[in-house]
Structure 1
């Protein structure tokens, strides 16, 4: 998983808004956040060199669709259908998901790898289950392991009753498993949600041989991570990080 360090973004303020562009410094991988396209291309090239393959970035929509990567997805100007997860059986094609508070989950199996973009909508909808199912369909029933990257942490991810309802949790005015009740001045009930814990709960029944990772809070560590929600704190644009995996 990348952090915000090691790139070239924020160094050229071609729109005269240097302060805002500084919020993209320096390894921004997102094309739709107001960055110079040339900087994004250079940053993505650095990721490709580091991973030793072509990372295929998805058109993410907070859904549950899984794209099986094919060579045409790596061509310049490729426009694959929207998906929030991908799998690959080709060592030349790396699975990549972009995040800036949502949870990235990487999967390694026998002859197949996968990556999933798991915000609360995707988690509740089954994006992790769909990714594992697609991997098993492509690579058989061999062992699969998962690794969770950094996301907004359980002390900072404030949600409403709609999120609890999406996970089948009754929105009572007290702590729930993986949802800590958070009274506030407005009187509207709120909770602090544990994305890593919710992902572990969804992964547990899938028969994986190992589930690792799960550290780091993107909102609490703005010097290390991009955070979409941190835009409200410092008023700067937020870039995008990526979690990437490929077969050797």
Structure 2
């Protein structure tokens, strides 16, 4: 990870082609007041709209163009960042056109960034447990139109396995789709509760698609209060963005 000079962002550490660029914002460097302090990019969390607009302007200044800001609904629809306009309802985006920026907002859910080794297409998926279970990663890879073996994936900051407690219904939903998913759940402190490894679940799904070059997956939003927003930790909070695009 490294930081830019103008905004404290994270840069994925993965062997992506040179024309593939990506970054993840942190909670620092913006103008929002508590509990959205300070670089909240979500326009749906009751932050002051002018603050969100300024925060988005600061992020856009690091990019080759305005990101495609999605209305995320924990679904599996994939948008084309070069065609659709901000506000489109989707939970993933792809781009084949240079300077079209895919953006995913999170505050515990898993952002998955993808590219092909030739640097011809990129994608970003919002993988909360519902979208991950229902196939948002699969939908994104399908939309990218490249064999899994040719893709790289990077798993961004998300709720870690020591913080993500879920009920029987979540575990059952994953296991119903793939019996191997049981390995990603550890018994919780109470009956009917489980500690879920969202990174492990994502790696399983990627492996089934033939995507074995997977990086990241070591950052926990809940435990790192200084850098990350966390809905599980704070309830009312802001959103970070994970962004990916192709240079000219």
Unpaired runs of 5+ residues, structure 2, are: 1-23
Shift of 1:205: 2.1
Q: How does 1:97-112 map to 2 (within 5 A)?
A: 97-109=104-116, 110-112=119-121
Shift of 1:140: 7.8
Shift of 1:53: 2.3
Q: How does 1:21-170 map to 2 (within 5 A)?
A: 22-71=34-83, 73=85, 78-80=86-88, 82-109=89-116, 110-136=119-145, 143-168=150-175
Aligned twin of 2:204: 201
| Separation of aligned partners in 2, 1:157 and 1:57 | 26
Aligned twin of 2:3: none
Paired residues of 2:185 and 2:194 also in contact (CA < 8 A): yes
Q: Report SS of the residue matched to 2:56.
A: helix
Q: Report SS of the residue matched to 2:120.
A: coil
Q: CA offsets per residue over residues 78-135 of structure 1, 9 Å max, x none?
A: 542x210010112221000000010000011231111000011111111101101100
CA shift in 2, pair 1:111/1:169, >3 Å: same
Shift of 1:2: 0.9
Aligned twin of 2:185: 179
CA RMSD of aligned residues (A): 1.9
Q: CA offsets per residue over residues 179-226 of structure 1, 9 Å max, x none?
A: 010122xxx410000000100000012223621000111111122110
What TM-score do you get using the length of structure 1 for normalisation?
0.82
Q: Report SS of the residue matched to 1:156.
A: coil
CA shift in 2, pair 1:153/1:55, >3 Å: same
Q: Report SS of the residue matched to 2:58.
A: helix
Runs of 4+ in 1 over 3 A off after TM superposition: 139-142
